[in-house]
Amino acid sequence: MSDLRDLYEEVILDHNRNPRNFLRKPAETNRHAHGYNPLCGDEFEVNISIKDDVIEDIAFEGAGCAISTASASLMTEALKGKSVKDAQKLFQGVHHLLTEADDGQDLGKLAVLSGVREYPMRIKCATLAWHIMQAALRNEQDTVTTE
């Protein structure tokens, strides 16, 4: 258990310090959504380029805590090249991982997010970018909130 916790902390710190796909917009952005966590002030925009039902590129902008930033960074890495249907499956898997007693075996590198369950108040931080991504895929214009 200690090894998993160490890995969780290492990955979260790495993706927070060096977020992937951050502070840029894909050249061919055709999906966009904005989200806000009023509890802690995390606020992000997710920009996606979809072609032939495949996420060709995805990036995020904004500011948030280490967990929300790391989760957004991990999400963008995991979703590039995936179909919209697979992205929705990953959303469900990550949501289940964070809210249920799931080991995340089917989630690969994203399973490290299971460590967030130790901090129930932070689950909304970890899911914010994922909810924003879902809204972007559905072309929703309203600001996504975790409350």
Query: At 125, which CATH number?
Result: 3.90.1010.10
CB hemisphere CA count around 130 (13 angstroms):
26
Task: Look at residue 6 in the predicted model and tell me its pLDDT.
Answer: 82
Q: Average pLDDT of 24-52?
A: 96
pLDDT band at 2 (very low <50, low <70, confident <90, very high): low
Choose among 118, 122, 139: nearest CA to 33: 139
- Asked whether the beta carbons of 134 and 79 are under 8 A apart, the reply is no
The predicted pLDDT at position 3 comes to 76
The answer to the question of residue 146 being in a domain is no
Q: Which two tokens stand for residue 55?
A: 């996420």
State the pLDDT confidence band at 84, using cuts at 50, 70 and 90: very high
* pLDDT of res. 126: 96
Residue 29 lies in a domain: yes
In a domain, 59, yes or no: yes
* For residue 100, pLDDT beyond 90: no
C-alpha 39 chain-centroid distance = 18
Lowest-pLDDT choice from 4-8, 46-50, 82-86 = 4-8
The domain total for the chain is 1
In a domain, 101, yes or no: yes
User: Does residue 96 fall inside a structural domain?
Assistant: yes
pLDDT digits (tens, 9 = 90+) for 60-76: 999 999 999 999 999 99
Average pLDDT over residues 135-142: 95
pLDDT at 1: 52
Residue 147 forms part of a structural domain: no
Residue 10 lies in a domain: yes
pLDDT at residue 116 tops 60? yes
The overall average pLDDT reported for the chain is 93
- C-alpha–C-alpha distance, residues 76 and 80, integer Å: 6
Look at residue 48 in the predicted model and tell me its pLDDT.
98
Does 103 reside within a domain?
A: yes
Domain around 9: 2-141
Alpha carbons 76 and 94: distance in angstroms, whole number: 13
